[in-house]
Amino acid sequence: MNVVVCVKQIPDPAAPPALDAGTKNLVRAGKLILDDSDAYGVEMALQLADAAGGGEVTLVSMAPNGETSGLRTALAMGAAKAILVSDDSLAGTDALGTAKVLAAAVKRAEPDLVLAATESTDGYTGTTPVQVAELLGLPSVTFAKKVEITGNSVKVERQTEAGYDEVESPLPALVTVTAGVVEPRYPSFKGIMAAKSKPVEILTVAELGLDAGEIGAAGARQEITQVADAEARAAGEIVVDEGEGHQRVIEFLEQLKVL
Amino acid sequence: MSVDKIWVLAEVVDGAPITTSLELITQARSLAGTVEAVAWGDATPSVAATLGEYGVTTVHDVGDLGGALPGVPVAAAIAAAVAAGAGPDAVLFPATYDGRDIAGRLSAKLDRPVLTNVVDLIADDGGLVTQHAIFGGTQVVSARFTGEGPGIYVVRAKSFPAEPSGGAPASAVAAPAPDTGATNAARIVARHVEERTGPKLDEAAVVVSGGRGLGERDSYALIEELATLLRGAAGASRAIVDAGWVPYSHQVGQTGKTVKPTVYLACGISGATQHLVGMKNSKNIVAINKDADAPIFSVADLGIVGDVHKVLPKLIDALKSRG
Ligand SMILES: Cc1cc2nc3c(=O)[nH]c(=O)nc-3n(C[C@H](O)[C@H](O)[C@H](O)COP(=O)(O)OP(=O)(O)OC[C@H]3O[C@@H](n4cnc5c(N)ncnc54)[C@H](O)[C@@H]3O)c2cc1C
Ligand SMILES: Nc1ncnc2c1ncn2[C@@H]1O[C@H](COP(=O)(O)O)[C@@H](O)[C@H]1O
């Protein structure tokens, strides 16, 4: 079984970017890393390929500057190969443009199953995967907290407001997984060494056969008009608990007439 | 782009439109002359009265989906209406599981982008401007669509109040989904409802949430006991949901529920931006955390620097002794 995992490479969230109020661009520095949200998809893909008795896990990513460090992490976990789309004309691409690029790249791998995260850490639009599914004419099941393959179909426990639904779909299909669906493995030393020589195909927009006018800043049909500071909450009262902290909470609740 | 007609996705749960849909309808009234709704399932005729009360004139009824997930068929039905020239200038979706799916599908079908995580929608210069909270709500980004409509917006819960306008029942018109073939092959085969007692998390006046600072699963009982004593609901950070301590329906934040209670008590929660986004607009916030530098204190009206295992049992005992 061939599984494609869409993996986003993002700036380290531990060093959060700032938004430049003048240019309205995110100011970022440093190497990109594998989005934590996508580590679950990679792990899930590896487990499903294993359970199916073989098959390949292919990574698909779109990132600037031919960045592969996040892909290497996922390759070290055990993915077989990667397709990276990197092209200067992609700067400023919106979620739909990203979906067009990812869809074109995913198609090349002819997968039985496409996995993505329910939302990325830095973009969190949560719409890119279903847009990819629609562009490829695939059924999709979002918010999976459990995924199983039986024969030619995928069975998913999909989170709902009230609990979960059991959903079934024939393959090929796209599934988005939540954090917590599986416990991502740490790459082993052997895995890290092996990842260095695994194939990463780097493609441009033209090589994917996409029209450059449809993507990048030229294709984006939304714009940021303003960035402003939110109204700050007034500083609160801080009490260090020395055994009586709970009393202050009770007084506070009484003040609010909750008690 | 002038905005004359807005469609709102009216998601129906347990036979009634969800509150977020009513919030969006309320706001849509102030933005456009005509507000219509899109609904599916067999409850449409009975919810038409409620939707009318909030200002909807027409409900486009996609009808029974035969067990399909709504994403594909409902988006196809909306796209068909747009293609037929009967479509709206903007479509508003609640940021729910199905709302996001339908919006994403519709976006790709119509080749129009989506604006997600919207927390405010303002009429401006004949068009709509959205606002988005970023960095845990410390900054606000304004955005808008350029080019041809309709605009697609996914809006977070509790961004607007829900207020009826006293309108007459809406009239329902059939808007069946066109055949979408294999794309529409995902089927719901069984539904599971996790029982909850007490008030709903997103409606309770008091929310008591616990995080990884509780240390272990069993300590969540402190959160539940405190919530019960305060006649509130028990919530959680994602860390302990992912760890399997509590069901996902307890999660507050970016990917969980948005809550706006009279009092929110955060116990052993660090206050990551994704958590803050779901509770920062609570009227009052109390935080208990042993780390004086925890970011949660930056939004707390009352911060207790202390150990949850010391403070919570005393708080519970004190409340019990009040009777
Ligand atoms: C795309 C995305 C979406 C996300 N969505 C959500 C979401 O919806 N909701 C959400 O909550 N998170 C979400 N997160 C996760 C978020 O980034 C944090 O990881 C999470 O909120 C941390 O949970 P926590 O505060 O319980 O744990 P931690 O960050 O580990 O904090 C534990 C806190 O407990 C304190 N503590 C420890 N021991 C004690 C003690 N004995 N007494 C008192 N205090 C103690 C510590 O000082 C610390 O501040 C999301 C992340 C991503 C990337
Ligand atoms: N540039 C990208 N490269 C690869 N996958 C992506 C990219 N952007 C989004 N995705 C996938 O779509 C998911 C949701 O992203 P988002 O729509 O940004 O919330 C991510 O977790 C990835 O699985």
- pLDDT bracket for residue A16 (50, 70, 90): low
Nearest Cα to Cα of residue A124 among B140, B117, B112: B117
The CA distance from A225 to A202, in Å, is 34
Residues 87-126 of B with CB under 8 A from A: 96-97, 100-101, 103-105, 107-109, 111-117
Residues 94-153 of A with CB under 8 A from B: 94-97, 99, 118-119, 124-131, 133-135, 137-143, 145
pLDDT of A46 over the 60 cut: yes
Residues 6 or more apart from A13 whose CB is under 8 A from it?
A36, A121, A122
Sign for the CA dihedral angle at A138, A141, A147, A149 comes to negative
Sign for the CA dihedral angle at A172, A176, A180, A185 comes to positive
Residues of A in contact with B69 (CB under 8 A): 140-141, 158, 167
Taking an 8 Å cut-off on Cβ atoms, the answer to whether A252 and B284 are in contact is yes
CA of B271 to the centre of ligand 1 (A): 6
Nearest Cα to Cα of residue B226 among B317, B299, B306: B317
Taking an 8 Å cut-off on Cβ atoms, the answer to whether A163 and B145 are in contact is no
Global confidence as pTM: 0.95
Distance of residue B43 Cα from the nearest chain A Cα, in angstroms: 18
Q: Is residue A247 part of a domain?
A: no
The CA distance from B259 to B138, in Å, is 17
pLDDT tens figures, B225-280: 999 999 999 999 999 999 999 999 999 999 999 999 999 999 999 999 999 999 99
> For A82-230, where are the alpha helices, taking DSSP H only?
95-108, 128-136, 189-195, 216-219
Q: Is residue A248 part of a domain?
A: no
Each residue's pLDDT expressed in tens, for chain B with a length of 323 residues: 579 999 999 999 989 999 999 999 999 999 999 999 999 998 888 899 999 999 999 999 999 999 999 999 999 999 999 999 888 999 999 999 999 999 999 999 999 999 999 999 999 887 899 999 887 788 899 999 988 889 999 999 999 999 999 999 999 999 999 999 999 999 999 999 988 788 999 999 999 999 999 999 999 999 999 999 999 999 999 999 999 999 999 999 999 999 999 999 999 999 999 999 999 999 999 999 999 999 999 999 999 999 999 999 999 999 999 86
Q: Are B305 and A241 in contact (CB under 8 A)?
A: yes
pLDDT tens figures, A98-144: 999 999 999 999 999 999 999 999 889 999 999 999 999 999 999 99
pLDDT of A17 over the 70 cut: no
Tell me, what's the pLDDT at A217? 81
Tell me, what's the pLDDT at B1? 52
Q: What is the CATH number of the domain that holds A125?
A: 3.40.50.620
Give B255's strand partners. none
Total count of domains within chain A: 1
Q: Is residue A249 part of a domain?
A: no
Q: Is residue A68 part of a domain?
A: yes
Instruction: Name the average pLDDT for chain A.
Output: 93
Beta strands, E only, B111-167: 114-124, 127-134, 139-145, 151-155
Domains and CATH numbers, chain B: 5-184 (3.40.50.620), 206-321 (3.40.50.1220)
Q: Is A251 on the interface with B (CB under 8 A)?
A: no
The CA distance from B40 to B36, in Å, is 14
Give A60's strand partners. A6, A83
Strand A9-11 and strand B16-17: the pairing is unpaired
Closest ligand 2 atom to A5 CA: 23
Structural tokens at position A214: 């449809």
Q: Is A20 on the interface with B (CB under 8 A)?
A: no
Q: Are A216 and A92 in contact (CB under 8 A)?
A: yes
Q: Is residue A20 part of a domain?
A: yes
Q: Is residue A27 part of a domain?
A: yes
Taking an 8 Å cut-off on Cβ atoms, the answer to whether A162 and B193 are in contact is yes
Q: What are phi and psi of A140, to 5 degrees?
A: -140, 150
pLDDT of A258 over the 70 cut: yes
Residues of A in contact with B284 (CB under 8 A): 252, 256
Tell me, what's the pLDDT at B86? 84
Residues 6 or more apart from A170 whose CB is under 8 A from it?
A139, A152, A153, B182, B185
Q: What residue numbers bound the domain in which A61 lies?
A: 3-220
Mean per-residue pLDDT, A238-245: 96
Closest ligand 2 atom to A6 CA: 5
Nearest Cα to Cα of residue B168 among B302, B7, B59: B59
Task: Give CA A41 to chain center in angstroms.
Answer: 8
Instruction: Give me the residue from A221, A229, A236 closest to B301, CB to CB.
Output: A236
pLDDT tens figures, A115-124: 999 999 988 9
Pocket mutation for ligand 2, best pick of A3, A4, A6, A102 (most atoms within 8 Å of C-beta): A6
Q: Is residue A171 part of a domain?
A: yes
Residues of A in contact with B288 (CB under 8 A): 245, 249
Q: Is residue A106 part of a domain?
A: yes
Binding site membership of B275 for ligand 1 (Cβ less than 6 Å): yes
Mean per-residue pLDDT, A222-248: 91
pLDDT tens figures, A54-94: 889 999 999 999 999 999 999 999 999 999 999 999 988 88
